[in-house]
Chain A
Amino acid sequence: MSYGSTIKVPFGPQHPALKEPEYFLFEVDGDIVVKVTPRIGYVHRGVEKAFEQETYLHNLYLAERICGICSHAHTTCYTQTVEGLIPLEVPPRAVYIRLIMAELERLHSHSLWVGIAAHEAGFDTLFMYLWRDREMIMDLMEEISGNRVTHAINTIGGVRRDITSEQANKIKKFMDKFEANVKEYMKVLETEQTFLKRTKGVGILKPRDAISLCAVGPTLRASGIKSDVRADDPYLAYGEIPFNVITHDGCDVYARTIVRCEEMIESANIIRYALDHLPEGKIKVPPPRTIAPNESVGRVEAPRGELIHYARSNGTAKPERYKVRAPTLGNLASVCQTLIGAHVADIPMILAGIDPCFSCMDRVVIINKDA
């Protein structure tokens, strides 16, 4: 099939396959992509600059709103980084509550993603089922924290809400149900021919490339590299909890799907274990208002991969510099690589494969002169 010689196909900023506005310019020869030029910046809100204008506590809410899908990952990383500046010891119960929320968030984010991937492949019914079951997780998070998406449960020095024992029992019950459902859908994904045809062998990222292009998270693990910040650089209480790092050798979109599905099951196990070992005690300690000059790096395994924050304080109540590198930017180089040689019809599948969230990638100002 050929649409003529090399033509340029714009993709975005408003495109139904992208939940967020981004722009890619593809040069296409026939049906095959030969060149990709990304142009991010449509979601730039200038957050890194804004961080320098606000106090540490206010910045927590800004950090939470870097991204709504893994808001908890961002606040966890933020608190971890800022607590590293002070330094502050967080009570163990708070650490466990943070961890439980983080894993619940991973469940919601992964099931959201698998749903979107199914939708991208035209598989709307599976999308509907996954999102229906995802509501269970959303309900739990809403009940624990008071909001479905931006939980605002982390604060510098601990957490703001406790998990009661009834809630703990409810979570455990839901986990069993959710796990059973995920297993069911995994069977569907593994056997449905139309879905396999669209994902197997699509968007190959070789392990060597994955390393050299600095891919992170499930994208990296689906290329067979065993890397997970939770295991390699344990933060929160991950050092005390046994869990497996899921990898897959497929290197394609299918492998990324399966890795995420298996991680959901793993997360359910982590949550159950953490609830059984929830320590007693305080849930927060008061932080100081100003922070002496220091610097700190925080790393968190967000649902989409390694998230890294860097903070530098200067003795006032506001940071000197705050840097955020979200997983999607880490994966951008690798996705551009995998897109070359792909079919035009596969572009949405491959782009979706890294689970892109451009909102956290575009940190800084973007301003249109004639805006």
Chain B
Amino acid sequence: MSVRKWARIRSPWLIHFNTGGCNGCDIEFVAAITPRFDVERFGIKLQGSPRHADVLGVTGPITMQITKRLVRIYRQMPEPKFVVAIGTCATSGGPFKDCYSVHGGVDTVIPVDVYIPGCPPKPEAIIYGIAKLLNKLSGSGSGGEDNGGHTQKT
């Protein structure tokens, strides 16, 4: 495993973005950084600025109004970047999939690397999902726009 890859797996910084969810997923996501679950164990840090982040955690069905902002935040993140859809809403639109102001899952707008179903997923389930993402990074599997750091623009 190259040093780069090692470093990437060990230091996934997250940014969290609510795209119209009901807060359920958001509070569970925040609960994952608190003492009981403490995702800093994995080197995960919550970032405020998309420029600093590696992983975008999206909660909620994509409302029409938020779409542009979501895409903008995604663009502002430097490569390599990954997207985690947290909750059923972000996975498929969930209970709101038929509402006319909603796009549906995150993958209708930006590529997603890991889906975490649950309404809301327990913090444990979120950690499990992130572990799955890290697993995927260390293995050969690549999805979404992950180009494994091979296409570094400098």
A/B touching: CB–CB < 8 A: yes
Contact B20 A45 (CB under 8 A): yes
12 contacts between A and B (CB under 8 A): A13-B66, A20-B23, A21-B66, A45-B96, A45-B99, A50-B98, A132-B34, A148-B120, A149-B28, A359-B20, A371-B64, A371-B67
User: For residue A71, which residues in chain B have a CB less than 8 angstroms away from its CB?
Assistant: 22, 24
Q: How far is the CA of A360 from the CA of B23 in the complex (A)?
A: 9
A366 within 8 A of B: yes
Contact B63 A14 (CB under 8 A): no
A65 within 8 A of B: yes
- Whole-angstrom distance between the Cβ of B127 and the nearest chain A Cβ: 14
Q: How far is the CA of A305 from the CA of B96 in the complex (A)?
A: 25
Contact A49 B23 (CB under 8 A): no
Of A36-44, A276-284, A291-299, the one contacting chain B is: A36-44
Contact B101 A46 (CB under 8 A): yes
- Smallest CB-CB A-B distances: 4 pairs: A68-B24, A131-B34, A16-B48, A365-B101
B119 within 8 A of A: yes
- Whole-angstrom distance between the Cβ of A75 and the nearest chain B Cβ: 12
Contact A68 B20 (CB under 8 A): no
User: For residue A43, which residues in chain B have a CB less than 8 angstroms away from its CB?
Assistant: 18, 20-21, 60, 63, 66
Which chain A residue shows the least CB distance to B87? A68
Contact B22 A67 (CB under 8 A): yes
A8 within 8 A of B: no
Q: How far is the CA of A62 from the CA of B22 in the complex (A)?
A: 10
Interface residues of A in 20-73 (CB under 8 A from B): 20-21, 41-47, 49-50, 53, 61-62, 65-69, 71
User: For residue B30, which residues in chain A have a CB less than 8 angstroms away from its CB?
Assistant: 19, 131
B36 within 8 A of A: yes
Q: How far is the CA of A135 from the CA of B124 in the complex (A)?
A: 13
Q: How far is the CA of A7 from the CA of B17 in the complex (A)?
A: 27
Given A50-B96, A68-B26, A149-B27, is A21 in contact with B69 using a C-beta cutoff of 8 Å?
A: yes
Q: How far is the CA of A14 from the CA of B71 in the complex (A)?
A: 12
User: For residue A131, which residues in chain B have a CB less than 8 angstroms away from its CB?
Assistant: 30-31, 34-36
User: For residue B21, which residues in chain A have a CB less than 8 angstroms away from its CB?
Assistant: 43, 68, 359
A344 within 8 A of B: no
In the complex, which of the residues B61, B64, B100, B120 contacts A68, with contact meaning CB atoms closer than 8 Å?
B120
Given A13-B69, A46-B101, A50-B98, is A368 in contact with B27 using a C-beta cutoff of 8 Å?
A: no
- Whole-angstrom distance between the Cβ of A19 and the nearest chain B Cβ: 5
B102 within 8 A of A: yes
User: For residue B100, which residues in chain A have a CB less than 8 angstroms away from its CB?
Assistant: 46, 49, 365, 367
Which chain B residue shows the least CB distance to A115? B34
Which chain B residue shows the least CB distance to A365? B101
User: For residue B36, which residues in chain A have a CB less than 8 angstroms away from its CB?
Assistant: 131-132, 135
A99 within 8 A of B: no
Contact B61 A45 (CB under 8 A): yes
Contact B63 A132 (CB under 8 A): no
User: For residue B90, which residues in chain A have a CB less than 8 angstroms away from its CB?
Assistant: none
Contact A65 B95 (CB under 8 A): yes
User: For residue B122, which residues in chain A have a CB less than 8 angstroms away from its CB?
Assistant: 142, 148
Contact A68 B25 (CB under 8 A): yes
B5 within 8 A of A: no
A138 within 8 A of B: yes
A357 within 8 A of B: yes
A150 within 8 A of B: yes
